[in-house]
Amino acid sequence: MSRILLSFLILCLSTLDAVSQAISNDRFLAYEVNLNLQNLQMIWKGSNGKAVGNFKTLKQQLADDGKSLVFAMNGGMFRVDQSPQGLYIENGKELHQINKVQEAYGNFYMQPNGIFYITNQQEAVVVTTKDFDRTNDITFATQSGPMLLIDGNFHPAFNKGSSNLNIRNGVGVLPNGNLLFVMSKVEVNFYDFALFFKELGCQNALYLDGAVSRTYLPSQQWQQLEGGFGVMIFEVE
């Protein structure tokens, strides 16, 4: 690799981190990911067939392979046995089928819910479950709910000033095609959480989870290694 190209890549990554720092504030931790420059993946189970479970274990497994964990966030709701609540695709393989149940208890079933996926062309998409098209070019996918924004509009169940407060994390697609991962630092309602994505230009955004949510982002002095999850979204280098 030439020195000029290497310097360019370093500059790009530094710029991404500076942007992420700039859009974070006292209420929200935000991280922007360019899939063409950063290695974003999803994981559920380790080589032992059991759920990896938390970022501490993931970090150690990556270190054993000579890799470093840059960023990690729990990636969708899960059942008691740590299996995904809905669709999960990892490295092109469907490991858990889509959940099309329309009426049931819990945030996952606040319709419309949705799916976040990445194609092998490094395109990021957030779409309602109803509009999801299962194609062969999907590398990673996770289903959760509710949708936060649908085509620039708030989820119809959200109310401004709601007293339903909780820690929340989610993902949206920015106007430039990059991903925006957000975790609230304090308890917020759905409306305010969705508003943060909307103010940054996201047209579509998906809620990933709530009270159990954790994020590992040492570049912003945020290192929550503990937890017990199903799917996890992470960046490695």
49 SS3 class: coil
Q: Average pLDDT, stretch 191-208?
A: 98
Q: Average pLDDT, stretch 137-166?
A: 98
- Report the b/e string of 126-137 with b at 16+ CB within 10 A: bbbbeebeeeee
**pLDDT tens digits, residue range 64-114?**
999 999 999 999 999 999 999 999 999 999 999 999 999 899 999 999 999
- Report d(CA 174, CA 197) in Å as an integer: 8
Ramachandran region, residue 53 (left: φ > 0; alpha: ψ -120 to 50; beta: rest): left
Q: Nearest-5° angle of CA 109, CA 94, CA 206?
A: 35
- Report d(CA 62, CA 72) in Å as an integer: 12
Structural domain of residue 141, as residue ranges? Answer: 3-236
Report how far apart the first and last C-alpha atoms of the chain are (Å, whole number): 17
What is the count of structural domains for the chain? 1
**Residue 16: per-residue pLDDT:** 58
pLDDT band, residue 20 (cuts 50/70/90): confident
